[in-house]
Amino acid sequence: MPDRVSRRATLQILIAAPVFGAALQACGKKDKPDSCTDVSGLSEGEKAARTALQYTDATPQPDKRCSGCNLYQPPVDPSQCGGCQVIKGPIHPDGYCTSWVAKV
């Protein structure tokens, strides 16, 4: 009899696990930041460089995103902004600038 209960409990866990996982994901951390436009910590020169390279949080070219750029520095926590070897300040994984270069 204990084997039957154990099997039932195992089946219940197997059925509930995906539902529980989806619920956790829905109310848990995001896989991308909302925005990476806070440049309040940058100097005027750094802001100017950002503007000169036409950085934007939302790429106008879907096949060219910061996350696919060789100069992108991904964050440890994917819900946070990343960095860039060229532009100072927060960088969105879906962003873009004119210095984009394919990841090797």
Rounded to a whole number of angstroms, the minimum distance from the CB of residue 19 to ligand SF4 is 37
Tokens for 65?
């995103």
Rounded to a whole number of angstroms, the minimum distance from the CB of residue 58 to ligand SF4 is 12
Please select the residue that binds ligand SF4; options are 36, 87, 89, 90, rule is CB under 6 A: 87
Give how many residues touch ligand SF4 by CB under 6 A.
14
**Helix, strand, or coil here: 84?**
strand
Q: Any residues with CB less than 8 A from the CB of 94 and at least 6 apart, and which? A: 32, 57, 58, 59, 65, 66, 67
Q: Is 100 in the site for ligand SF4 (CB under 6 A)?
A: yes
